Amino acid sequence: MKFGYFDDGNREYVITTPFTPYPWINYLGCEQFFSLISHTGGGYSFYQDARLRRLTRYRYNNIPLDEGGRCFYLKDGEDVWSPSFRPMKKELSFYECRHGLGYTKISGARGGLRAEQLFFVPLGFHGEVIQLKLANETEQAKTLSLFSFLEFCLWDAQDDQTNFQRNLSTGEVEVQGSVIYHKTEYRERRNHYAFYSVNAELAGFDTDRESFLGLYNGLHEPQVVLAGRSNNSLASGWSPIASHHLQVELAPGQSKTLIFILGYVENPKDEKWASPGVINKQRAKEMIARFETEAQVEEALRELKAYWDSLLRKYQVASGDEKLDRMVNIWNPYQCMVTFNMSRSASYFESGIGRGMGFRDSNQDLLGFVHQVPQRARQRILDIASTQFEDGSAYHQYQPLTKRGNHAIGSGFNDDPLWLIVGTAAYIKETGDFSILDEEVPFDSDPSNTASLFEHLKRSYYHVVNNLGPHGLPLIGRADWNDCLNLNCFSEEPGESFQTTGPSEGPVAESVFIAGLFVYAAHDFIELCRRRGLESLAAEAEQQRANVAEAVMEHGWDGQWFLRAYDAFGQKVGSKECAEGQIFIEPQGFCVMAGLGVEDGRAEQALDSTARLLETEHGIVLHTPAYTKYYTNLGEISSYPPGYKENAGIFCHNNPWVIIAETVLGRGERAFELYKKICPAYREEISELHRLEPYVYAQMIAGRDAVNFGQAKNSWLTGTAAWNYAAISQAILGIKPDFDGLRIDPCIPPQWDGFQIQREFRGAVYSIQVKNPNHVSKGVAQIRVDGREIAGNLLPLFTEGVHEVEVILG
């Protein structure tokens, strides 16, 4: 069952009913100001940091779900309704939500009145613009009241939800004309405030929640709206809100447009006050003046669409499969950019409070967005590297506002350092910018203690070399990629953190996954050493790579697949010897991606075992059999019910590793079959089961042991987006950046006749026609560039122009 449809021409997903199986959301903003918005107007806004600069309040686990956000009420005679359906939830004669790239349009109609709402964050703007068009579609004049409503968060979202003894006394506002200013704590250490404006004269306003709603009323029954008049309340403590009341008269067929702005302003310390106790509103007024007219809004929306045009045109495919094309051309790179901005901090599953930017996460995310915004990717790499320690280890997370490491989580996740090599190599391959390796980068954000980025990569590499266990495999530390495989935790107390309890150093738990990642990353690190003339270091690194590869093949092979790990007692994890959790997905994918076992057939055995034991109709489960009890030597992974999350759920993030591994073996049909199983566009028909947005990837789909097999959780912010983009664009379609140019190496289903790719790369445009006359899966027989045949499959580098490339597979 579907709840809408893709409008590929407008690059929108159109939701045709408010009754989706879960709130389906979009993200507004692509620079510093961001908003989450659901298909009924829910969500919240923040500046840079979803915890420390939250403008509007949002309640997770609310009843009903997704209450709050941006509310509008229309009082048409005695009929009161909301054009987004919620919160009044009156039946609408028409409803539509169009989620586009950086904007959302929600339309509703009732009683001959039509309301169209446009929500977006303009480029270079620290605020959200809401354009509301009202149209009288009857033959009688209408006089109606419009009420806006949003609830302010007291900046620090964590403190906002916990420190009531203070916060219920701190709320402060100002009202001037048609603008409501939220200035809580502005009198002390803050120099920022928020405002909510409208470009029309007010009939009234409210800034105190209780005065607007009534103490015992919900958002679906605000006493001010039902009475049809505002109280002009000024919040003093308690819960500040912003509500405008406007009287609107519409002749038959007439329409009227109103423009609301939710904005964020920072003032220099010496410019905070206009007069004692009165905030300096100059910057807010300048922001409001930018969007006084429809023409200004339309121009800003055009600029936003042009911005997304410029990003998405970097890679475009025409395959003849509309689902594949819409994911590669629109939704997958869009999700990658949103994930670049958010990391894992703010979604409808991440509260924006508990997590900052992940060291591992952000490096992997680079794979999906580096070709779109290479300069921002460069800065992200330097930000990430600056949270590394001198020994090569790193903070697991950092806060985006301060760019400092998160002490609450700390370090000791021993895969983290290697991802810096993967991310940096991806950036250099895309841009050819080797100069980034010479940038001086702090250790632990200390500007007095720096080293070149290359030295950081060297420390990353040797952090593994210097932390090998008794089998010659890397020590796992707190955890490797799977944060829930906690082999050094041994927690028996409820509420303890699995990631920070117990020692990360000392125990001998080892990770075969990190070993595979090490061998995979070693190829690029060694190449960078050689390009810097460091032959002795390259030779030494090559020997270390060989040592770990040998250890994997000797101690990490279980007969038909790769082991997952050795626990702190030296016992195997992910072995046929285990009663539960006999085979895991991660090492099967990454070890084969690293080339381990390819020559002697063990790679093929591992992938065949994956297909036989782990694959389901909804994707590949993380391991099998599921854990049916809690194991203290394994940690959080065994704390979940069978089939959910890391306990034998379909963790979509690691499915593309197997997809890519299949292309290493040349099995294009298998690779594309696996791609389609978790790709959201191919799951749209089962939206009632999948539940989440059919236009973006989810982190997890419930596994076959779960009660709700096939049901997804945690959409949008997941490494799934970047890795699936890499899997389809580089491994299957085979257009892969390399240090010296684009390498062409498709691995496709043999029945495909071919496809076309347009790829912008280092200033030039490559128009690539791939033909498959012999119906093979893999192998390039001939490449012609601008009519001339070249040797090999590495395209020559150009700095400008459009270049025609013909590729014949065979």
Q: Which are the catalytic amino acids? A: 483
In whole angstroms, how far apart are CA 292 and each of 265, 295, 296? 18, 9, 7
Look at the block and give the residue holding tokens 């560039």: 785
Strand partners, 803: 766
Closest Cα partner for 638 from 698, 578, 577, 588?
A: 578
State the maximum Cα–Cα separation within the chain, in Å, rounded to a whole number: 86
Rounded Cα gap, residues 410 and 771, in angstroms: 51
Contacts of 269 (CB under 8 A, 6+ apart): 191
Angle at the Cα of 682 from the Cα atoms of 681 and 688, rounded to 5 degrees? 85
User: Which one-letter amino acid corresponds to residue 438?
Assistant: D
The one-letter code for the residue type at 236 is S
Please tell me the distance from the alpha carbon of residue 151 to that of residue 62, in angstroms, as a whole number.
15
Q: How far apart are the first and last CA of the chain?
A: 41
Q: Exposed, middle or buried, 64 (CB in 10 Å: 0-12/13-18/19+)?
A: exposed
CB-based burial, 328-344: b 16+ in 10 Å, e otherwise: bbbbbbbbbbbbbbbbb
Backbone angles phi, psi at 671, to 5 degrees: -60, -45
For the beta carbon of residue 22, count every other beta carbon within 10 angstroms. 19
- What the block records as the tokens of 345 is 């901090």
Q: Is 749 helix (H, G, I), strand (E, B) or coil?
A: coil
Q: Based on C-alpha coordinates, what's the Rg of the chain? A: 28
Contact criterion met (CB below 8 Å) for 246 and 145: yes
CA-to-CA distance for 575 and 605, rounded, in angstroms?
Answer: 14
Using the CB atoms, write b or e for 520-537: b if 16+ within 10 Å: bbbebbbbbbeeeebeeb
Q: At what angle do helices 374-385 and 416-431 cross, to 10 degrees?
A: 150
| β-strand pairing of 650-651 with 712-715 | unpaired
Query: What letter would DSSP give residue 562?
Result: B
Tokens of 197: 């404006």
Which residues, at least 6 apart from 300, have a Cβ–Cβ distance to it below 8 Å? 120, 122, 123, 125, 129, 290, 291
